[in-house]
Amino acid sequence: MTRRTFLAAVAATASGADSSSIYPAEWRRYADPATEFPILRLTDPVRDSYLTRPYNRGISRRGGFLLYTTDRGGGLALMRMDLKNGQSHEIASDEGIVAGSPALASDERNCFYVAKGGVFLVTLANFKSRRVYALPVGSSAGDGFSISEDGQNAFLIERSSGGRHKLMMISLRGGSTAAVVESTEPISDPMPRPHRAGVLYRRGAEIWLVNYDGAQNHRLHVAAGGTGPALWSPDGRQVLYLHYPEDHTQLNSIREATPDTNEDRTIASTSQFVGFGLNGDGSVIAGASGSKASPYVLLLLRSVRRELTLCEHHSSDANLVRPVFAPDSRRVYFQSDRHGKLAIYSINVEKLVAETEVE
C-alpha cells in the first residue's frame, strides 16, 4: 500500500465509509495504433464497466471524479473514480442497479440512480443512500432515467405488467409524482430540456417532445429516414440527432431540429456515426463510427464541417462506444470491449478543442 492509498483509506474510515470498498487504480496507458495519440484505459477489461447515458452527467465539473457502474460479481456496483489518482470507491451496491442510470446532481453533492424497486439518492460525502421513489407493485424500470438541469425533477420510464409505458416525473423536493406521458408503444430516453419545462423522449423510432404538465405532446419534425441518438444543444434551443438516410449508400449525418420553429437542417455528413456527444458549447461533436473498415472515435468541427480521427475504438458493437466530453471539453471518454469486456477509456483533446467555461 502506498502512502497515498493509506491516507485515503484512513480518511474514508474517519468519515464513516467502508475502507474495504476502496479499489486501487487500474489505469493503463498506450499509444493508439492508428493515430499514436496517448490513450488512458481507466478500468480493467476483466469485468464490464459502464459510463452513464450521454444525456446524464457522470463527470464532475472540474474533472475531479467520474461516476460509473461495474460488475464485480453478484451484480453491478456504483463507483466513484478519483480522476487524479485512479482509485475507485464503491458508493452503492443495491440489488439490480441499472447500468447507464447514474446522474450527478447539479450541486455535485448527490447522485441519483435506478435499482430494483425504484430511484435512489446517494450522498457523495458519506455514501449513504435512500430511496426517493418506489416503483408500484407490478411495475419495473424501463429504458431511461434522467434529472432536470436545476435538480428539481427526475424522469423515469416505467413499465407496467399490463404492457403500458409511462414517462414519470418525480419531484425531488416535494416528493410528488405524475405520469407525463402514457403509451402502449415502448418509450425511452427522457431528456429534460435545458432552461425550459419540457422533456424530449423516444417513442419507438421517433423523437417526441412534451411539456412537464403533459401538454403539447407531439412528434418532432425531422428529416425522412431513420432517426438515431439525439441530444439537446447546451442552450436548449435545438435538438441534434443522427440521421440515417433511406438510401443506405449515403452517409449518416448530424442534423439539427428547432422545435419552436419546426426548422430542420443538416449540420454535416459523418463517417457513419452511430453515437455522439457534444462539447461544452456545442461547437465540437465527438462521434463513434459504425464503419467496420474504420472503427474510430472522431471529432467533428461544426464551423468547418471537418472530421479529425482521435483513436480506434474497435468495439464489437459501435453503439456502445457512446463518446462524451468532460464538462470543460478537455477530455473525451468512451467505452469499448476491444481488450476483453467493456471498459472505459479517455483521451486528452485540449490541444484540439478549446476549453469551455464551467459554471
Is residue 116 predicted with pLDDT exceeding 80? Answer: yes
Q: How confident is the model at residue 1 (pLDDT cuts 50, 70, 90)?
A: very low
What would the grid cell of residue 342 be? 467493456
Mean pLDDT computed over 117-131: 94
pLDDT for 218 equals 97
Q: How confident is the model at residue 163 (pLDDT cuts 50, 70, 90)?
A: confident
Q: Which amino acid is at 113?
A: Y
Distant-in-sequence, close-in-space partners of 35: CB < 8 Å, separation ≥ 6:
309, 310, 311
1 CB-contact burial (10 Å; exposed 0-12 / middle 13-18 / buried 19+): exposed
Q: How confident is the model at residue 21 (pLDDT cuts 50, 70, 90)?
A: confident
Mean pLDDT computed over 142-156: 96
Sketch out the chain's domains with CATH numbers.
224-353 (2.120.10.30)
- Residue 48 near residue 70 (C-beta atoms within 8 A): yes
- pLDDT 10s digits, 277-328: 999 999 999 999 999 999 999 999 999 999 999 999 999 999 999 999 999 9
pLDDT for 191 equals 98
Closest CA to 343 of 54, 69, 103: 69
Distant-in-sequence, close-in-space partners of 351: CB < 8 Å, separation ≥ 6:
none
Is residue 16 predicted with pLDDT exceeding 70? Answer: no
Q: How confident is the model at residue 74 (pLDDT cuts 50, 70, 90)?
A: confident
Q: How confident is the model at residue 24 (pLDDT cuts 50, 70, 90)?
A: very high
State percent of the chain over pLDDT 70. Answer: 94
* pLDDT mean across residues, the chain: 92
224 CB-contact burial (10 Å; exposed 0-12 / middle 13-18 / buried 19+): exposed
CA dihedral 87, 89, 90, 91 (to 10 degrees): -140
pLDDT for 175 equals 84
| C-alpha–C-alpha distance, residues 313 and 305, integer Å | 22
Is residue 14 predicted with pLDDT exceeding 60? Answer: no
Q: How confident is the model at residue 6 (pLDDT cuts 50, 70, 90)?
A: very low
pLDDT for 5 equals 41
State percent of the chain over pLDDT 90. Answer: 86
CA 298 to the chain's CA centroid:
18
- pLDDT 10s digits, 209-239: 999 999 999 999 999 999 999 999 999 999 9
Closest CA to 199 of 188, 306, 113, 342: 188
Is residue 94 predicted with pLDDT exceeding 90? Answer: no
Specify the pairing of strand 65-71 against strand 49-50.
antiparallel
Residue of 117 and 238 predicted with greater confidence: 238
Mean pLDDT computed over 3-21: 43
Q: How confident is the model at residue 91 (pLDDT cuts 50, 70, 90)?
A: very high
